[in-house]
Amino acid sequence: MALKIVKGSIDRMFDKNLQDLVRGIRNHKEDEAKYISTCIDEIKQELKQDNIAVKANAVCKLTYLQMLGYDVSWAAFNIVEVMSSSKFTYKRIGYLAASQCFHEGTDVIMLTTNQIRKDLSSPNQYDTGVALTGLSCFVTPDLARDLANDIMTLMSHTKPYIRKKAVLIMYKVFLKYPESLRPAFPRLKEKLEDPDPGVQSAAVNVICELARRNPKNYLSLAPLFFKLMTSSTNNWVLIKIIKLFGALTPLEPRLGKKLIEPLTNLIHSTSAMSLLYECVNTVIAVLISLSSGMPNHSASIQLCVQKLRILIEDSDQNLKYLGLLAMSKILKTHPKSVQSHKDLILQCLDDKDESIRLRALDLLYGMVSKKNLMEIVKKLMLHVDKAEGTTYRDELQHTCNTKLCNCSTLILLRYISILVELTRLEGTRHGHLIASQMLDVAIRVKAIRAFAVAQMAMLLDNAHLLTGNMQRNGICEVLYAAAWICGEFSEHLEDPNQTLEAMLRPKVATLPGHIQAVYVQNAAKLFATVLRKHEGATDSQAAQETSQLLVERLPLFVQSANLEVQERASCILQLVKYIQKLQQKDVEVAEEVSALFAGELNPVAPKAQKKVPVPEGLDLDAWINEPPSESESEDEKPKAVFAKEETKHSRPRHTEVDEKELARRREARKQEQANNPFYIKSSPSSQKVYQDAPGVEHIPVVQIDLSVPLKVPGMPMSDQYLKLEEERRQKEKAEKKKKEKKKKREKHGKGKKHDSGPESEEDITPAHHVDIVTEEMPENALPSDDDDKDPNDPHKVYDIQGNLQDGSQVVVSVIFENKSDSFLKSMEFNVLDSLNSKLQRPEGAGPHDGLVVPFQLPPGVSNEARFIFSVQSIVMPQKLKGTLTFIVKSEDSSTHEKLDFKLHFTCTSYLITTPCYSDAYAKLLESGDLKSSSLRLEGVNMPFHHLLARICFHHHFSVVERIDSCASMYSRSIQGHHVCLLVKTADQTVSIDAKCDEPSLLGNVLDEIKQTFSQC
Beta bridge partners of 570: none
Minimum Å gap between C-beta 92 and another protein is: 8
| Element holding 589 (H helix, E strand) | none
CB of 341 to another protein, least distance (A): 20
Return residues touching another protein (CB under 8 A): 18-19, 22, 60, 63-64, 67-69, 71, 73, 88-89, 92-93, 96, 100, 103-105, 126, 133, 136-137, 161, 164-165, 168-169, 171-172, 198, 202, 205-206, 209, 212, 234-236, 239, 243, 272-274, 277-278, 317-318, 320-322, 352-353, 355-356
* Residue with Cβ nearer another protein (64 or 944): 64
Q: Which candidate, 598, 433, 432, 630, places its Cα nearest to that of 529?
A: 598
> Min. distance of Cβ 425 from another protein in angstroms?
24
Write the CB contacts of 653 (distance below 8 Å, at least 6 apart in sequence).
Answer: 604, 609
Determine contact, residues 400/377, Cβ cutoff 8 Å.
Answer: yes
Q: Kindly provide the b/e burial profile for residues 258-275, where b requires at least 16 CB atoms within 10 angstroms of the residue's own CB.
A: bbbeebbebbeebeeeeb
Residue 153 CB, nearest distance to another protein (Å)? Answer: 18
Is there a contact between 61 and 18 (Cβ–Cβ < 8 Å)?
yes
Question: Nearest approach, Cβ of 66 to another protein (angstroms)?
Answer: 8
| Amino acid found at 246 | G
Nearer CB in complex with another protein: 63/499: 63
By beta-carbon proximity to another protein, the closer residue of 27 and 574 is 27
User: Which own/partner contact pairs does 19-27 have at CB distance under 8 Å and 24+ positions apart?
Assistant: 21/61, 21/64, 21/65, 22/64, 25/68
Q: What sign does the dihedral 508-510-513-515 (CA atoms) show? A: negative
**Distances, alpha carbon 102 to alpha carbons 94, 96, 169, in Å:** 11, 10, 17
Q: How far is CA 158 from CA 125, 135, 548, in A?
A: 10, 20, 100
Q: Which is nearer to another protein, 273 or 509 (CB)?
A: 273
Cβ closer to another protein: 152 or 582? Answer: 152
Using alpha carbons, list the distances in angstroms from residue 999 to 102, 106, 707, 878.
22, 21, 14, 17
DSSP string, 956-980: --EEEEEETTEEEEEEEETT--EEE
Min dist. Cβ of residue 172 to another protein (A): 5
Measured from the CB atom, is 194 or 719 closer to another protein? 194
DSSP state letters, 571-588 = HHHHHHHHHHHHHHTT--
Report in angstroms how near the CB of residue 77 gets to another protein at its nearest.
17
End-to-end CA distance of the chain: 48
Q: Closest by alpha carbon to 294, among 331, 321, 267, 258? A: 258
Distance CA 947, CA 990 (A): 9
Q: Select 35 or 823, whichever has its Cβ closest to another protein.
A: 35
To another protein, the closest distance from the beta carbon of 616 in angstroms equals: 59
Q: How far is the CB of 161 from another protein (least distance, A)?
A: 7
Closer residue to another protein in complex, CB, 535/929: 929
Question: In this complex, which beta carbon is closest to another protein, that of residue 247 or of residue 641?
Answer: 247
Closer CB to another protein, residue 793 or residue 1007?
1007
Q: Which is nearer to another protein, 96 or 192 (CB)?
A: 96
> In angstroms, what is the minimal distance from the CB of 714 to another protein?
23
Of residues 231, 173, 176, 799, the one with CA closest to residue 188: 173
Least Cβ distance, residue 263 to another protein (angstroms): 15
- Nearest residue (CB) to another protein, 24 versus 513: 24
* Smallest separation (angstroms) from another protein to the CB of 168: 5
Q: How far is the CB of 709 from another protein (least distance, A)?
A: 16
- Which residue number, 102 or 867, has a Cβ lying nearer to another protein? 102
- Residue 643's Cβ-count burial label (10 Å; 0-12, 13-18, 19+) is exposed
Euclidean distance between CA atoms 426 and 372, whole angstroms: 28
Smaller CB distance to another protein: residue 198 or 513?
198
- Please check whether residue 85 is in contact with residue 52, taking contact to mean a CB–CB distance below 8 angstroms: yes
- Beta strand 823-831 with 878-889: parallel, antiparallel or unpaired? antiparallel
Q: How far is the CB of 64 from another protein (least distance, A)?
A: 6
User: How many Å apart are CA 831 and CA 900, to the nearest integer?
Assistant: 10
What phi, psi does 85 have (nearest 5°)? Answer: -65, 150
- Cα distances from 305 to residues 291, 308, 349, 1008, in angstroms, run 19, 5, 19, 54
Q: In degrees rounded to 5, what are phi and psi of residue 935?
A: -150, 140
The nearer residue to another protein, 168 or 361, going by C-beta atoms, is 168
Closest approach, Cβ 839 to another protein, in A, equals: 30
Q: What angle do CA 785, 787, 792 make, to 5 degrees?
A: 150
In the complex, the smallest distance separating the C-beta of residue 456 from another protein, rounded to whole angstroms, is 39
E strand intervals along 78-219: none
Cα 32 from Cα 725, distance rounded (Å) = 64
Nearer to another protein, 29 or 585 (CB): 29
Ramachandran quadrant class, 353 (left: phi over 0; alpha: psi -120 to 50; beta: rest): beta
Smallest separation (angstroms) from another protein to the CB of 378: 26
CB of 19 to another protein, least distance (A): 6
Question: 336 — phi, psi (to 5°)?
Answer: -60, -45
DSSP string, 531-557: HHHHHHTT-HHHHHHHHHHHHHHHHHH
- Number of neighbours of residue 342 by Cβ within 10 angstroms: 18
Sign of CA dihedral 940, 946, 952, 957: positive
Nearest residue (CB) to another protein, 321 versus 905: 321
Nearer to another protein, 161 or 392 (CB): 161
Q: Which residue type occupies 806?
A: D
